[in-house]
Amino acid sequence: MNDTSTEPLPELTDAAVERIERAVFEDIAAELPRQSPAEKRGRVRRRRWLTGTGIAAAFVIGVLITPPILTAVGGSATSSADGGGVTVVEDARSGAVDQSAPSALTESAESGAVAGDVAAGDREIIATANATVEVKDVSDAAVAIGTLAESHGGYVESTEIGGTPAVDASSDPVAADSEYGWISIRVPSADLPAVIDELTESGEVLSSSIAQQDVTSTAIDLRARIDATRASVQRLSELMSQTGTVAELIEAEVALTDRQAQLESYEQQLASLEDQVAMSSLSVQLTRTAAPTTADPAGFSDGLVAGWNGLVVSLNALVVSVGFLLPWLAVAGLVVLIIWGVRRARRGRRGSDAADTDS
């Protein structure tokens, strides 16, 4: 068995290590592709653009997504100075119930809640109707329709027979058209269909229509406002009896006058609305039936007169046509004459040129 002896490795100096590292770095640099300074600047610029675009996109996405998330997670709180309480309104999608202070309950919310509970038979409807009736005599039909309205507990609102007189260029009134007229009546809403059916007694009903408008929510809202304003008037009246100074008394009286005027306005609006609901309006247009015309048999003399009139009319039309065409014919003749003269001059010039060539 042979013994092998290992000689110690020579010690590396710092200069040798530095030489080896330099050689390795040079080999690596030789293998990498060389880039010009312009390419390096382009890479840096692209990197900056990509970074800025990413930050802007993240900001936009955050702005678009954050509000829906906040709305879905939690509700919005609004403070009310009235009554010193805080009204918290939760989103209906979160399944929470609205929590509000008593002073923050608005009249419109109350009326809207009550309107949703009104039965179909208790709704308040304003009905208006229109009809066109062909009658033999317009005046008699208007009187009959007025009597019909009174028999149902209604009344005639307005009427017009013959229409509005027209005025011609000389400002003289022209006779009114007695073949036209209209009448507007008010009848109880429940009797409106029956009244339209009974119009056939006055003449032939050519057309009829009924329009309905639901004003239940408006009426409920007005009643709630009236109750709230009446309570406010009562509180102000009690406050006036408790005031001690003249300034407080004047301030309370001004506020009371304002509330009383507001209360009267609400009451008038409600009264007008209830009147429209209780009494429907029916507008009836009256037209007179056209009288039948009989053919008048014509004899020989009538035919002769008609033929002579036709001949005169035809001759008149012929004369007008000739007078209309004469200026155009004159212009056309002048144009043709000019063209003929030009062509003749050219033909003569060509003949002289040919004679000169032959000679």
Q: Quickly list DSSP for 309-339.
A: HHHHHHHHHHHHHHHHHHHHHHHHHHHHHHH
CA separation for the pair 209, 205 (Å, rounded): 11
Q: Is the pLDDT of residue 99 over 60?
A: no
Token pair 């590292």 in the structure block, residue: 21
- Residue 223's pLDDT band, with cuts at 50, 70 and 90, is very high
Instruction: Return mean pLDDT, the chain.
Output: 74
Burial of 18 (0-12, 13-18, 19+ CB in 10 A): exposed
Domain spans in the chain, listed from the N-terminal domain onward: 13-80, 107-112+122-165+175-291
Q: Where do the DSSP E strands lie in the chain?
A: 76-79, 86-89, 125-135, 155-161, 180-188, 204-214, 279-288
Mean pLDDT of the 229-235 span: 90
- Residue 59's pLDDT band, with cuts at 50, 70 and 90, is low
Mean pLDDT of the 101-117 span: 43
- Residue 333's pLDDT band, with cuts at 50, 70 and 90, is confident
- Residue 168's pLDDT band, with cuts at 50, 70 and 90, is very low
CA separation for the pair 55, 149 (Å, rounded): 78
Determine phi and psi for 193, rounding to 5 degrees.
Answer: -60, -40
- Residue 33's pLDDT band, with cuts at 50, 70 and 90, is low
Least confident segment among 96-100, 127-131, 180-184: 96-100
More confident residue, 60 or 355: 355
Give the CA distances from residue 121 to residues 171, 213, 214, 215, 273, in Å, rounded to whole numbers and listed in that order. Answer: 56, 14, 12, 13, 18
Mean pLDDT of the 75-102 span: 36
Burial of 208 (0-12, 13-18, 19+ CB in 10 A): middle
What is the pLDDT at residue 97? 34
Determine phi and psi for 179, rounding to 5 degrees.
Answer: -90, 5
Q: Percent of the chain beyond pLDDT 70?
A: 65
What is the pLDDT at residue 8? 61
**What is the tens place of the pLDDT at every residue in 306-331?**
888 888 889 888 889 888 888 888 88
Structure tokens at 26: 């040079």
The helix (H) or strand (E) run that includes residue 101 is none
